[in-house]
């Protein structure tokens, strides 16, 4: 069959196997180029960076980019966990299923050990599988990356299913909504969350599960001396704070930061630490359905590309590893630069005052007539499609694909 993007309500609901694989390979190539540019030595080359890394939420976005950086710059063996719909010959899998397949293929070609576990990372069953795999390898973890972004979570103790929402707290929030594919601008307003919705979102997107992971890994004796763990967050510009930083997701991220301090305390015995990295805003599956976000990102991308400071997932995660986490001699774990709240800031280029001032100047004047001129409309469209393997250079989208399990 010939696979074209199927977009419903600003969400792409299918994936292109070869496109997903090609995009994963592009990220791997970028990291390998950065390795050569920086002169980073892998573990096999005598480097002192991470040797074994666990990535929770490994299949897309920051999680996939983190796993690629660990493996292909530092030569780390990796275990990845994600919950994907598997492909069959006639039925496509989720984008993450193809990304994982491409990663596994590239890791094997480079002689890197890699285990990809498909399952619910919130469950104790998957935690047990990870621990079992580490013990079979006879190794311990130098780094645990927590990059889960699920809309639902089942509490492993109570078996209650919780659902997260993206809503403001206390009052309505509205603003311009940009249809990334059509270029149409409309007004969108979101009602405030109930107290129950806030609590449920914290339960799903906060740090409770991260803390449970680190506790069980520690009790199993699979954390190396000096093991670090990092989870990801976002702050963004002031104009989005009511729907994000001061909304339900922000409440969850504040819980994540509090849990980081608790986890750090528990890791002191082995000389380890927990960090929250605040990352740059990017196009995601939910960007199109949150007021302001898509329009803001379109303007931001235009401004940052003109300044030469724009980064995607892979550029940020490679920089996080090389310039924040592993800054010591021979890529060893060095001193981590933190802000006044104890967080890593990789959103420094996005929130640079001169960048935000330019975005603020442009935003009020954007209309449907000039949106393609004032926004990087082509760029955010590409990113939106690329998440699902479309609009990738070098892919023939008119090719008839007979077996949807094949990635090339």
Backbone phi and psi for residue 385, each to the nearest 5 degrees, phi listed first: -75, -35
Residues 6 or more apart whose Cβ sits within 8 Å of residue 178? 184, 185, 288, 294, 295, 298, 371, 375
Cα-to-chain-centroid distance, residue 370: 31
β-bridge mates for residue 230, sequence order: 145, 275
Place of tokens 């180029």: 33
Q: What is the pLDDT of residue 288?
A: 66
Helix (H) or strand (E) holding 165: none
Per 3-state DSSP, the chain is made up of helix, strand and coil in percentages (nearest 5) of 45, 15, 40
What is the per-residue pLDDT across 200-250, written as a single tens digit (0 to 9) for each?
999 999 999 999 999 999 999 999 999 999 999 999 999 999 999 999 999
The span from the CA of 379 to the CA of 398, in Å, is 22
**Pairwise CA distance, residues 137 & 267, whole Å:** 23
Active site includes 244?
Answer: yes
Q: Which of 309, 316, 297, 317 is nearest to 382 (CA)?
A: 297
| Closest to 63 (Cα-Cα) out of 382, 326, 320, 338 | 320
Helix (H, G, I), strand (E, B) or coil at 370: coil
Catalytic residue among 30, 244, 275, 296: 244
- Distance of alpha carbon 381 from alpha carbon 181, whole angstroms: 6
Radius of gyration of the chain (CA): 21
pLDDT of the residue at 173: 95
Residue 303, helix vs strand vs coil:
helix
State the Cα–Cα distance between residues 331 and 76, nearest whole angstrom: 12
What are the residue ranges in the chain where pLDDT is below 70? 288
What is the number of other CB atoms lying within 10 angstroms of the CB of residue 405? 17
Q: Tell how strand 152-154 and strand 161-163 pair up.
A: antiparallel
pLDDT in tens, 53-104: 999 999 999 999 999 999 999 999 999 999 999 999 999 999 999 999 999 9
Beta bridge partners of 178: 185
3-state secondary structure of 326: coil
């Amino acid at each position: 069959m010939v696979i074209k993007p199927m977009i419903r309500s600003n969400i792409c609901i299918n994936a292109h196997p070869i496109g997903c694989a090609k995009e994963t390979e592009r990220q791997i190539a970028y990291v390998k180029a950065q390795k050569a540019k920086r002169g980073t030595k892998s573990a096999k080359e005598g480097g002192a960076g991470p040797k074994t890394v666990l990535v929770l939420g490994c299949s897309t976005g920051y999680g996939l980019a983190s796993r690629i950086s660990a493996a292909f710059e530092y030569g780390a063996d990796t275990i990845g966990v994600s919950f994907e719909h598997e492909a069959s010959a006639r039925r496509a899998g989720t984008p993450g299923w193809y990304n994982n397949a491409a990663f596994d293929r590239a890791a094997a070609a480079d002689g890197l050990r890699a285990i990809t576990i498909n399952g619910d990372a919130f469950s104790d069953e998957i935690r047990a599988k990870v621990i079992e795999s580490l013990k079979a390898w006879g190794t311990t973890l130098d780094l645990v990356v927590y990059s889960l972004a699920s809309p639902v979570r089942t509490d492993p103790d109570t078996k209650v299913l919780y659902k997260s929402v993206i809503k403001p707290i206390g009052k309505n929030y509205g603003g311009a909504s940009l249809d990334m594919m059509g270029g149409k601008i409309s007004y969108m307003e979101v009602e405030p969350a109930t107290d129950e919705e806030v609590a449920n979102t914290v339960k799903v997107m906060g740090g409770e599960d991260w803390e449970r992971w680190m506790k069980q890994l520690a009790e199993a004796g699979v954390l190396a001396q000096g093991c670090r763990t990092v989870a990801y967050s976002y702050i963004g510009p002031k104009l989005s704070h009511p729907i994000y930083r001061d909304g339900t997701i922000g409440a969850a991220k504040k819980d994540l930061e509090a849990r980081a301090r608790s986890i750090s305390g528990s890791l002191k015995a082995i000389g380890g630490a927990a960090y929250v990295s605040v990352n740059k805003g990017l196009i995601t599956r939910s960007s199109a359905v949150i007021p302001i976000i898509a329009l803001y990102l379109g303007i931001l991308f235009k401004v940052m590309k003109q300044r030469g400071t724009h980064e995607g997932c892979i550029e940020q995660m490679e920089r996080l590893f090389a310039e924040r986490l592993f800054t010591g001699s021979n890529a060893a774990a060095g001193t981590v630069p933190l802000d006044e709240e104890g967080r890593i800031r990789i959103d420094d280029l996005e929130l640079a005052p001169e960048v935000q001032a330019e975005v603020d100047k442009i935003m009020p004047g954007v209309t449907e007539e000039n949106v393609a001129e004032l926004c990087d409309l082509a760029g955010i469209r590409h990113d939106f499609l690329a998440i699902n393997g479309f609009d990738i250079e070098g892919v023939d989208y008119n090719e008839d694909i007979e077996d949807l399990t094949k990635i090339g």
